[in-house]
Amino acid sequence: MTTEELLQWADDLVFAKTEKHLDSVEMAILEGTWQGLKYEEIAKNSHRSKSHIKNIAAELWKRLSDLLGEDIKQSNVRSILERKALSTIYNYGNSSNIVSSNINSPITICGEKQQYAELTTLKQWILEAHTRLITIYGLSEIGKSAIALQLIQQTQTEFDYIIWRSLSNTPTLSTLQTELKQVFSRSQPTPLPTILDYFRSHRCLVILDDVHNIFSSGQIAGEYLAEYKDYGKFFKQIATSSHQSCLILLSWEKPREITTLEGENRPTRTLHLKGLGEQAREIFKEKGLTHEEKWSELITIYQGHPSWLNIIASTILELFDGNVARFLAEGNDIYLGDIEPLLESQLERLSESEKKVSQWLASQDEAVDISQPPTDRELSHSEFWQAIQSLARRGLVEKMQVGGRSLFLLNPVFQQYIKSK
């Protein structure tokens, strides 16, 4: 999708809900934000004051947040609207985003040059290994929806139904099942009793996005909110029952019961999405950054995270005229800038034990051996290990093998953020 198509989609969304189109200033703010411009630059291009643009933008982000059910701000508006627009390219139904494999039109993916190496693995799991339940987890805005949409593009002819549903508004399991059955029944002369019956009688791909919304904040990763515990039983049923379909979960954190299911049942797989790698160079090409020989260093520092790299690329354009070498020469500390709100939204979900352990890990200069916990810790061995395991299930801690031992390292970007606070 082009910028113009995305802007048109956003305008259509607002008009459908409010019967009012976006005005010229609001469109300029959206377009400028898409291009990585700051309010001052948007104001200059629009012949308005910076304060006026900032006030209008605040109202626009609030309106879009209310319409889409997500906390939208300047730092994340592009990634959220792209994801929402892509998942509703072929919209079928009001409350769910549905993609039907019977459509002959091609699905166009924004940033399609940013191919994920993991896509081949996902296709093999689904088409050859007939995996029934797949969890794709990773940091906020790392590209989970993007890879799922690319998966749809490349496998849509294999399925009778492809259904995309976000759990951002935390529907109960009963509500979700009712909505899914309503979709299936539109082409079924005789409705079937359960979702599993549809999974057995048809080849279905169902993608549940934003699954972390049914997990508790302030608890160990993947712990369900009290009223959503039945989701765990539903996921287990899908994984352990015989059928020809696949359920994909997209989440910031890995559900706790998934590890057990992976051990007991081969048709259950987990993919930890870690970023783009060298494919992220496409972001810098689109931004027009210079000193290409330094791009790999920039990708390594920011973990190949597409949203982080987009934000940092905009910063380099604003402060250093696109000169990556000058940006990297400014010092050894990792510059965070407008990435901070994204990091905060991830860290505020941590349990108290995770916060303590992450603060300790942030103070370490290298990967640590957790068989030798800190002597001055406030946690028991069990609590310490559980916190490490939970941080890993959020993608905040990485495990590496050194000399036959497993060592653990806090994500360097989060380490910098925690140390700075």
**Tokens at 410, concatenated:** 């806090």
In this structure, are 268 and 298 located in the same domain? no
Is residue 280 in some structural domain? no
In this structure, are 182 and 210 located in the same domain? yes
Half-sphere exposure of 10 (CA within 13 A, CB side): 28
The pLDDT score that the predictor gives to residue 156 is 84
In this structure, are 336 and 360 located in the same domain? no
Q: Residue 114 and residue 304: Cα distance in Å, rounded?
A: 11
In this structure, are 166 and 216 located in the same domain? yes
pLDDT digits (tens, 9 = 90+) for 74-108: 878 877 777 676 555 433 333 333 443 333 333 33
Beta bridge partners, 134, equal 248, 269
In this structure, are 196 and 309 located in the same domain? no
Instruction: Please tell me the total count of domains within the chain.
Output: 4
Range of the domain at 359: 350-420
Residue partners of 217: CB distance under 8 A and separation at least 6:
348, 349
For residues 156-192, b (16+ Cβ closer than 10 Å) or e, as one string? beebbbbbbbbbbeebebeebeebbbebbeeeeeeeb
- Closest Cα partner for 140 from 409, 416, 317, 339? 339
Q: Residue 152 and residue 350: Cα distance in Å, rounded?
A: 32
In this structure, are 123 and 152 located in the same domain? yes
Amino acid at 284: F
In this structure, are 330 and 376 located in the same domain? no
In this structure, are 101 and 130 located in the same domain? yes
What are the 10-residue block averages of pLDDT along the chain, 421 residues in total?
Answer: 72 82 90 85 88 92 87 82 59 35 33 66 94 95 88 87 87 93 81 93 92 95 96 95 96 90 81 90 91 95 93 92 92 88 93 95 91 78 93 94 90 95 84
CATH number of the domain at 91, please.
3.40.50.300
Q: If you count them, how many residues does the chain have?
A: 421
Is residue 81 in some structural domain? no
The pLDDT score that the predictor gives to residue 362 is 94
In this structure, are 268 and 322 located in the same domain? no
Is residue 159 in some structural domain? yes
Half-sphere exposure of 413 (CA within 13 A, CB side): 26
Domain boundary among 313, 341, 369: 341
In this structure, are 107 and 165 located in the same domain? yes
In this structure, are 97 and 242 located in the same domain? yes
Is residue 20 in some structural domain? yes
In this structure, are 219 and 165 located in the same domain? yes
Q: Considering the entire predicted model, what is its pTM?
A: 0.78
CATH number of the domain at 367, please.
1.10.10.10
Q: Residue 133 and residue 150: Cα distance in Å, rounded?
A: 18
